[in-house]
Structure 1
């Protein structure tokens, strides 16, 4: 018994020591965080500090502190943000009249619609349908749209109810799945005989087109047993498109025609010749219109062209000569001619293009190349001379053909009256304050909504201001909106110079090439993330970052680490070196691989006879990669001029492609 008591006392003493240790540790952490925050706020103004503290008070719902900060900040540029975050966080306890006043007072701020969205969600949750109906404005959310229809059907006028029925019918037909908020509307339509068989068939057609087969079968439950069988057979055909080469007998009505058209389109990806034979054999039997026939014929021709099939030339020629040509079919016919060095075919194809397309820099260049190859050097020379005046990919290529100097054509800088600009545009003051407190993402949203509203004559000044504030993506976007392509200083900034130069030297690659990749990938957005998952300045995929990190001994490969410029540039530059070595220093192939992946570049160069680089670039199957390579090569040339005061000619960076020496054996895992 005594031993048990001593054991218990010892355990209590141990637990007390642990508790004291944890308490001390938490205190230390709190003090450290306070010290860090205090240090971070040292350079902030009194109002900026108050705003940051107000935001923290809002998160704690410290009402006395919030009231104090609101009074202190009522004349501050970010005061609307204080109100917005307070109302957003405490939406349940904010009186409707307060929200209504905010929506009216700040109707020109994007915050107004953001708050309205939060409020609508709250009103729907509380089933306050009359208020919802009163304050609704068009929303992108399907759920909020359905809540509006539901409110209209419950409390709307006769006209509002009729509109709600028509719009909800249209919405339902285009839903891949029915959100919970839309179930009540769906039930209303069904119970009030507003739910038609045509709606069901339209939605099934849409779902099958999107390859949502199981959902299509689920929707088909609203049909008869015989119609469900039709849907099942329809799905069977599009899943196995070779069935379109036989007469379809187990489907009737419009569904047979739809099944055939969808199936033969899918067959075009597998076997274009077989698809064309099936189209010609059954199009009349299934009642395809002339336009429907031409659309599918065009699809078949383009699918064969994507893979550079032997039959692609004849299929495209038939489409283009029958008067059914489009920009895509003509471009692909031209690309095939370029890839195969068929210069007469190329000239003939360019002649088929619209006059405006013929004047595009791309086709002017290739007309000159074809004429030069055909011996008309005098006409080619004139075309090259005109193109060489331009500062772009084709201008540089043209200058190389005639040994002319590159023309960079920079525009002079404008004087900037920063105070007047900020006074005219209050959004700039908000942006300036958001930058100061390091609310970068919120500042980006402000830029996004602000720039389209700017007087076009002031976009250069706005871009200059953005660059001064180190807001490089927005300086670039300003010039794009203004179409001021010769503002080189604003369009091609060189931030992060130290890590770029260090990693270029370490990896033995051109720093201008690194900048060219960054400029194309992210336009200097450090924390940007793509829908595919690519992260940061050089848009690295996490898997690629881990692979390269392992090779160079870096563990800073998390998504968070990749949003830091230094880490991103280190890993991105190492990946560029890897690709450069893989392709024996061929910058064109390495750049294409950076965008599309090494496996695709291997496919595009497999069994390829030696081809000039400009021909290979303009015959890349992927439009995105084709444009990407051109842009990076152009940007690299511009950055070379900015970094070194001289430039490397494209012809020296674009060697022949296709011989076995182009590719190395190593592969990316």
Structure 2
């Protein structure tokens, strides 16, 4: 056989390195395997080969050689002169650290080695940011144009516009806003000042008034606009009262009285009365003083009655009826109706049965989905099945057809002895999946609908998506352990995509074991039947260990992880909850102490640690309340709230109790977790346990007991 030429061997080496950089290829150094190994060749690698076949027999030989090298030879043997992707990643991190330390010689030397590395654009962007800090924007302008397809460029562009504002380059800023209108929302104050300098003065003055009312700080570059705003007669009396309202609601009375100094002295006295209303709402509202104008009356009444309704909705309702006769008669009836609605809904969330009548008596114009829902929930709690049916039947058709009201109508019919009428409603739900569907199937004695489909994506579609620069960058960030930047690139690449593209994305993310993006992509692709991909059995070793330690089922632990973070190990909420099971650091520390762990500052981004502590906290709540449903409610809303809810309404009828959880988020959370347990039991090839039984503390309790 003729030996390949030196040029051909170089082509093989180059092709190998090109293939290695693709995000869908994962090959480990290994011995050559049997023919069956060919079946495991990556799908997209085959597509890559097919694409190159058209380039001639020489290229076909090259690719065949590369495939053999991938399967049989360690990468270090493939080419002694090539740089591995692992080495490039190390250089990238070293370059980033050098830039942070202002070691520019080292930075430039490392960056020069990374010309073909997918994330090198980030080094350009970060370098431009550093030069901006030093007052130089030439590189920023160049990089913004050169790397417009990299989402990190948005950060650079925002920093550049802020720098232009400091230098009062309003014409350039206006041009930039015209070019990228999305920056207006990112930099509203700069846009406002830019508008003023470029002729849109009325719009700028109106926006400044709105900012002042909200208490926004005024930047140095907006001071000229502020002076003009003051010369135009601002703040007006109405604007002062609007800002006072915000300050009073926050209890910032010193600032509120400072704003009020420009008001007539009589109006300044109203603030003293308002402050007393906050302290003693019932007593002070009963002594409503004469002379308070409509604007101030509405603010004081709304605040005082809201505070009183938190303590006692009945007293708030009675106070409202009394004050209607003493306050300014110019206050509209619509204002009082809205206040009545707020009080009635607060009473309903506290499970006060009289709230059903209050909600029903509201003007038709003030009735909405929320008021109807709480009327129905109160009747369900009180087992007033006929009244519950009447409320559901009076709902608009689209609301009646929602799964919760379809289920409760069926349940009401069943409890009224009309099982034949209930059966079709249950049956319609039972062919679907979800909390109410699983309950319906169980009521009829039917198996749960748990069949799973696979994603459908062609080799060509996978190859096309995988070759997008943003997708390659997303993969690289994943390898560097930065899920946030990976996600940003991922969504930047897929923004505005159709369902078929999202399905391809779900397939690709699944091949990367990127579970949270698989879950999101499957939803956007409307592929909710892909249960195995949407409900992964990830971190199985840690979950099983936590199950052994706590006595919780693995399904319960997986369900909390799925609901809390969708398996994103770096998930961080806006309040600071972290990791797979979204633990607050304070809660994690307290749990670690109870478990007598060595570290009092556990790493919540470690899957093993997070699962250990999260499961321990969950079982603590289950032992405290006696039910997984209540434990899930406590995990989401806090045990003190669950205690309060149980004091108002005992857990005697679990389905009704869950339906009437005051917080929409917690109600949906509990229902999702309980349904997910069934799915995860099925994923473990078990027959799903009774959801009705799991809802109860010890044994099944039907609603008619």
TM > 0.5 fold call: yes
Task: Tell me by how many angstroms 1:71 deviates.
Answer: 4.8
Provide, for residues 350-387 of structure 1, a one-character-per-residue CA deviation record: whole Å limited to 9, x for no partner.
01211101000110000000000111111111111111
Provide, for residues 269-327 of structure 1, a one-character-per-residue CA deviation record: whole Å limited to 9, x for no partner.
2332332233334436432323212211111111111212242232223227x563211
Equivalent residues of 2:659, 2:667 under 8 A apart: yes
Task: Tell me by how many angstroms 1:247 deviates.
Answer: 3.0
Cα distance between partner residues in 2 of 1:330 and 1:528: 36
Q: Where does 1:568-647 land on structure 2 (aligned, <5 Å)?
A: 568-584=610-626, 586-606=627-647, 608=649, 611-647=652-688
- 5+ residue gaps, structure 1, are 1-41, 661-669
Task: Tell me by how many angstroms 1:177 deviates.
Answer: 5.5
Task: Tell me by how many angstroms 1:72 deviates.
Answer: 4.4
1:88 match: 129
Kindly indicate whether residue 374 of structure 2 is the aligned counterpart of residue 332 of structure 1: yes
Cα distance between partner residues in 1 of 2:598 and 2:408: 47
Task: Tell me by how many angstroms 1:516 deviates.
Answer: 0.4
Kindly indicate whether residue 141 of structure 2 is the aligned counterpart of residue 100 of structure 1: yes
Equivalent residues of 2:636, 2:666 under 8 A apart: yes
Provide, for residues 444-492 of structure 1, a one-character-per-residue CA deviation record: whole Å limited to 9, x for no partner.
3223434433332111221121122122111111122233221212211
Cα distance between partner residues in 1 of 2:336 and 2:154: 46
Distance 1:385 1:203, change over 3 A: same
Kindly indicate whether residue 407 of structure 2 is the aligned counterpart of residue 407 of structure 1: no
> Among residues 351, 362, 387, which one is paired with 1:319 in the alignment?
362
Task: Tell me by how many angstroms 1:626 deviates.
Answer: 1.1
Equivalent residues of 2:353, 2:378 under 8 A apart: no
Task: Tell me by how many angstroms 1:146 deviates.
Answer: 3.6
Equivalent residues of 2:158, 2:183 under 8 A apart: no
Cα distance between partner residues in 1 of 2:430 and 2:187: 54
SS across alignment from 1:562 = coil
Q: Where does 1:197-596 land on structure 2 (aligned, <5 Å)?
A: 197-242=237-282, 243-249=284-290, 251-283=292-324, 285-319=328-362, 322=364, 324-415=366-457, 417=459, 420-423=463-466, 425-558=468-601, 561-584=603-626, 586-596=627-637
Equivalent residues of 1:139, 1:145 under 8 A apart: no
Task: Tell me by how many angstroms 1:113 deviates.
Answer: 2.0
Cα distance between partner residues in 1 of 2:302 and 2:648: 34
Task: Tell me by how many angstroms 1:98 deviates.
Answer: 3.1
Distance 1:359 1:383, change over 3 A: same
CA RMSD, aligned part only? 3.0
State how many pairs are aligned. 613
Greater mean deviation of Cα atoms: 279-288 or 475-484: 279-288
Q: What TM-score comes out, normalization by structure 1 length?
A: 0.84
Higher relative contact order (CA 8 A, sep 6+): 2
> Among residues 48, 60, 63, which one is paired with 2:89 in the alignment?
48
1:190 match: 230
Greater mean deviation of Cα atoms: 181-190 or 380-389: 181-190
Distance 1:239 1:446, change over 3 A: farther
Task: Tell me by how many angstroms 1:594 deviates.
Answer: 1.7
1:118 match: 159
Q: Where does 1:12-31 land on structure 2 (aligned, <5 Å)?
A: none
SS across alignment from 2:361 = helix
Task: Tell me by how many angstroms 1:608 deviates.
Answer: 4.6
Distance 1:114 1:610, change over 3 A: closer
Equivalent residues of 2:410, 2:421 under 8 A apart: yes
2:59 match: none
Cα distance between partner residues in 1 of 2:472 and 2:332: 59
Distance 1:389 1:295, change over 3 A: same
Task: Tell me by how many angstroms 1:630 deviates.
Answer: 0.3
Cα distance between partner residues in 2 of 1:43 and 1:363: 59
2:51 match: none
Distance 1:56 1:419, change over 3 A: farther
Equivalent residues of 2:298, 2:331 under 8 A apart: yes
Distance 1:627 1:70, change over 3 A: same
- 5+ residue gaps, structure 2, are 1-82
Equivalent residues of 1:390, 1:408 under 8 A apart: no
Task: Tell me by how many angstroms 1:442 deviates.
Answer: 1.7
Distance 1:379 1:212, change over 3 A: farther
SS across alignment from 2:662 = coil
Distance 1:318 1:166, change over 3 A: closer
SS across alignment from 2:392 = helix
1:58 match: 99
Task: Tell me by how many angstroms 1:88 deviates.
Answer: 1.1
Cα distance between partner residues in 1 of 2:644 and 2:699: 11
Distance 1:557 1:497, change over 3 A: farther
Cα distance between partner residues in 2 of 1:162 and 1:316: 43
Cα distance between partner residues in 2 of 1:432 and 1:222: 59
Distance 1:324 1:143, change over 3 A: closer
Provide, for residues 485-519 of structure 1, a one-character-per-residue CA deviation record: whole Å limited to 9, x for no partner.
21212211121110101110222110000000111
Equivalent residues of 2:294, 2:331 under 8 A apart: no
Task: Tell me by how many angstroms 1:613 deviates.
Answer: 1.9
Distance 1:451 1:245, change over 3 A: farther
Provide, for residues 635-667 of structure 1, a one-character-per-residue CA deviation record: whole Å limited to 9, x for no partner.
11101111234321212312268999xxxxxxx
Cα distance between partner residues in 2 of 1:644 and 1:289: 62
Distance 1:288 1:59, change over 3 A: same
Provide, for residues 496-551 of structure 1, a one-character-per-residue CA deviation record: whole Å limited to 9, x for no partner.
11010111022211000000011111111212222333221111222322232222
Q: What TM-score comes out, normalization by structure 2 length?
A: 0.80
Greater mean deviation of Cα atoms: 361-370 or 95-104: 95-104
